[in-house]
């Protein structure tokens, strides 16, 4: 790890970490390190709030997206990294399954939401859990062999900086069919989007080495599950209150469709 203020190496110091310049960061009682200085925040409490984090935790722990996590862990295990990082780990559901698949590797996970990381670090205490910005990741250059980004924004230049030779980024994102039935209920017009748009952002010395898709049907029979799905997606605040209420009231079967891309450093 490196200092988010001066980029010097961080070493253990009392109940936290410090750099040679004297910058100190205490470990929270839950076990995570807050490496997000106040001057790097865009708001007082950035990232997902407690309600959003709890909705995602309930939905994921109910197993609705278990096939996505299972395949992600399998793909990560195939890479056999010495060190890996989950960028935008949220409340840690996917991170914990990667950790289980990579028991010998050094694992790191970060999110800008303190509420998310506070809950996530309980899932796999052996990992280094960080509250940090993905635009200023407090890890050294070329320190990771695998990066994971699951339904999360990504700073490609930062990702490239972190990768060592032969390493790569495992990105999981929605295809245009993802939650198509939910979107049809929420909007008068369902806008098609290009699920390959991110390919234009790849750094010049990285290449798409593998891509695959996973699709399955998901029946959401309980109002609680439908409400949690709305709360953990952007559709929960983009759609009207009336449309959201209608979704929660009626049983819903949706298509879950994601793609896994492995971008390797040349």
89 is annotated as contributing to ligand binding:
no
Is 65 marked within a binding site? yes
Residues in the chain: 266
- Any long-range contacts for 78-81 (C-beta under 8 Å, 24+ apart)? 79/145, 79/146, 79/168, 79/170, 80/105, 81/105, 81/144, 81/145, 81/146, 81/167
242 is in an annotated binding site: no
d(CA 72, CA 66): 10
In the structure encoding, which two tokens stand for residue 156, read together? 């490609």
For 32, the 3-state DSSP assignment is coil
144: annotated binding-site residue? no
Interaxial angle between packed helices 66-79 and 93-101, expressed in degrees from 0 to 180 and rounded to the nearest 10: 40
74 is in an annotated binding site: no
> What's the DSSP call for residue 40?
G
| DSSP 8-state assignment for residue 163 | E
| Beta bridge pairs of residue 83 | 106
Annotated binding site: 3, 6, 19, 23, 65, 91-92, 178
Annotated binding site for S-adenosyl-L-methionine: 65, 91-92, 178
Annotated binding site for Zn(2+): 3, 6, 19, 23
């Amino acid at each position: 790890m490196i200092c988010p203020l001066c980029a010097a190496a961080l070493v253990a110091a009392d109940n936290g970490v410090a750099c040679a310049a004297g910058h100190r960061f205490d470990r929270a009682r839950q076990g995570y390190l807050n490496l997000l200085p106040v001057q790097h925040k865009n708001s007082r409490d950035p990232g997902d709030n407690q309600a959003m984090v709890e909705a995602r935790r309930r939905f994921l722990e109910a197993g609705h997206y278990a096939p996505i996590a299972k395949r992600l862990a399998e793909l990560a295990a195939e890479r056999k990294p010495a060190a890996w990082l989950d960028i935008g780990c949220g409340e840690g559901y996917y991170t914990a399954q990667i950790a289980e698949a990579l028991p010998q590797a050094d694992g790191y996970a970060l999110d800008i939401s303190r509420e998310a990381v506070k809950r996530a670090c309980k899932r796999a205490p052996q990992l280094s859990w960080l509250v940090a910005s993905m635009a200023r990741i407090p890890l050294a250059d070329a320190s990771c062999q695998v990066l994971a980004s699951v339904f999360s924004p990504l700073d490609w230049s930062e990702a490239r900086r972190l990768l060592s030779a032969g390493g790569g980024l495992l990105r999981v994102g929605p295809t245009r069919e993802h939650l198509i039935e939910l979107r049809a209920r929420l909007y008068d017009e369902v806008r098609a989007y290009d699920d390959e748009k991110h390919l234009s952002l790849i750094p010049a010395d990285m290449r798409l080495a593998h891509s695959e898709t996973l699709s399955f049907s998901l029946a959401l029979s309980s109002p609680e599950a439908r409400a949690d799905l709305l709360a953990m997606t952007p559709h929960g605040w983009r759609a009207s209150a009336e449309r959201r209420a209608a979704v929660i009231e009626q049983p819903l079967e949706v298509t879950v469709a994601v793609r896994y891309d492995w971008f390797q450093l040349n």
